[in-house]
Amino acid sequence: MTEKSVYSKEEVLNLTEKENILFIRLQFVDILGFPKNIVIPSSRFEEALDEGMPFDASSIAGYATIEESDKIAMPDPNSYVILPDCIESRKTAKINCDIYEPNGERFTGDTKYALEKIVNKSRELGYTFNTGPECEFFLFKKNGEQATLIPNDSAGYFDLSHRDLAEGVRAEISLAMEQMGIKTYTLHHEVAGGQHEINFRYDDALTTADRVISLKYVTKVIATKHNLHASFMPKPIYGASGSGMHTHLSLFTKSGNNAFFDPDGQHQLSKIAEQFIAGILKYIKEITLILNPTVNSYKRLVPGYEAPTYISWANRNRSALIRIPSRKGMSARCELRSPDLSGNPYLQFAVMLAAGLRGIKEKLVPPRPVEKNIYSLNERERKQYGIENLPDSLGHALALAKQSDMLRTVIGDHIFENLIHVKTEEWSKYRTRVSKWEIEHYLPIL
């Protein structure tokens, strides 16, 4: 199977019969980015391709109320993948679905649809939006069926196999992904014990969002086979580095040229690139709820662990929110360093693109890049550079998102209102919960 196959209905039906596929997973994601699926026997596959598969969406996060729960999952033949034997014990294929209303209209709560709309807007302007995420995660030991917080090893950044005990696990994940038509780019141990990173080559945002969902699923399945628990939680261990999803962003023209590259531009960046960067810097506070959507996300966004906390950009400075990698030409891009993998990649890529396009539309000019270690600057020095802070909690990000007309416009009323509702409940539960730290710290002295 090639990395990007294009299938017709007849081709996927023939392939299903030829490979003796027994079951089909009709897959989609909820508003939070958690994968959902309807499993059907292959004998019903043609029916699903022709008519879609009706389902009750009333219990799916952000989808519908009881009064309007019926939805239709319509399979996309282009996304058809035969799952490898290491993932499924029975011959099973997976296919992504677009979600429709019973009246035939596209469901506005389908987060993939939100990304499709802004991607189409970008194409109308002459650009293909490419993303390349760096996916970090932890592997923890298990105590029976229960996950622990004990890392699978004590290796460090780029360590070799005598200390890196999960080199074989990452290799199995990579091989499984390749069997699904997804070529991994790099895989290595990260900074913290038990922390790992797997990347795949950049591609258009819709394709990449699909791959992020697949990678998370495959990683968890392979980890379980090794009696390990894979976690994409942004900050599972106090005092250790957190896991992020640094995302490389670029625009390509219809002729295949990189719109971010200008050999004569400052830093070899085009005006389009500078405006795109300026747009993200301007709107980053409003979209942080999407990029960092959990209470735990903000335990990662603290000084001292390479995760950004300040709104700035730079060429080499890894303490900046946006970094410009040194390779230019067709590889010209910017790297947004704040997102994490607790979010919905369809929505995350949608708001990244929307912010950048607004920068182009508004002809914004970015501030000068800050090449110093921002963590070493005091408050007065940061003020001189015009550096502001990212939201420092889910509650802060939620308050800013609620007021954002830009965010509502991009993701639509249905997703916006449901997401605000879900995250308001999450923040309320967190604020009222008494933590172990509070008991240990205050009970003896108060």
Tens of pLDDT, residues 304-328: 777 899 999 998 777 789 999 877 7
Residue 3 has pLDDT above 70, yes or no: no
Cβ contacts of 67-70, under 8 Å, gap ≥ 24: 70/102
Q: Examine residue 35 and state whether it is found in any structural domain, yes or no.
A: yes
- The Cα–Cα gap between 133 and 119 comes to 17
Query: Sorting pLDDT into bands at 50, 70 and 90, what band is 67?
Result: low
Q: Which among 43, 74, 107 is the end of a domain?
A: 107
Of the listed ranges 119-123, 195-199, 318-322, the one predicted with least confidence: 318-322
Q: Examine residue 415 and state whether it is found in any structural domain, yes or no.
A: yes
Measured CA angle at 187 (ends 182, 193), to 5 deg: 135
**Phi, psi angles (nearest 5°) of residue 225:** -65, -20
| Helix (H/G/I), strand (E/B), else coil: 140 | strand
Tokens representing 299? Answer: 């335990």
| Helix (H/G/I), strand (E/B), else coil: 307 | coil
Q: What percent of the chain has pLDDT over 70?
A: 98
Tokens representing 146? Answer: 């229960």
Per-chain mean pLDDT for the chain: 92
Give the CATH number, domain containing residue 26: 3.10.20.70
Nearest to 217 by CA among 101, 83, 89, 311: 83
Is residue 33 within 8 Å of residue 346, measured between CB atoms?
yes
Give the CATH number, domain containing residue 228: 3.30.590.10
Residue 188 has pLDDT above 70, yes or no: yes
pLDDT in tens, 219-273: 999 999 999 999 999 999 999 999 999 999 999 999 999 999 999 888 889 999 9
Indicate whether 202 and 275 sit together in one domain: yes
Question: Could you give the dihedral angle defined by the CA atoms of residues 163, 166, 168 and 174, in that order, rounded to the nearest 10 degrees?
Answer: -130
Question: Is residue 442 packed enough to be buried (19+ CB in 10 Å), middle (13-18) or exposed (0-12)?
Answer: exposed
pLDDT confidence of residue 200: 87
pLDDT in tens, 334-392: 999 999 999 999 999 999 999 999 999 999 999 988 877 787 788 888 888 888 999 99
Q: Please give the residue range of the domain that contains residue 191.
A: 117-437
| Helix (H/G/I), strand (E/B), else coil: 330 | helix
Query: Sorting pLDDT into bands at 50, 70 and 90, what band is 397?
Result: very high
Indicate whether 237 and 360 sit together in one domain: yes
Mean pLDDT, to the nearest integer, of 28-37?
95
Q: Which residues are catalytic?
A: 56, 134, 136, 190, 197, 246, 318, 335, 337
pLDDT confidence of residue 65: 60
Residue 2 has pLDDT above 50, yes or no: no
Q: Examine residue 3 and state whether it is found in any structural domain, yes or no.
A: no
**Phi, psi angles (nearest 5°) of residue 144:** 70, -125
Indicate whether 39 and 148 sit together in one domain: no
- The Cα–Cα gap between 196 and 169 comes to 10
Of the listed ranges 29-33, 262-266, 282-286, the one predicted with least confidence: 262-266
Tokens representing 2? Answer: 């090639």
Q: What is the pTM of this model?
A: 0.95
Tokens representing 92? Answer: 């099973």
Indicate whether 419 and 339 sit together in one domain: yes
| Helix (H/G/I), strand (E/B), else coil: 311 | strand
Indicate whether 319 and 368 sit together in one domain: yes
DSSP H/E element including 208: helix 205-225
Domain count of the fold of the chain: 2
Indicate whether 124 and 24 sit together in one domain: no
Indicate whether 60 and 128 sit together in one domain: no
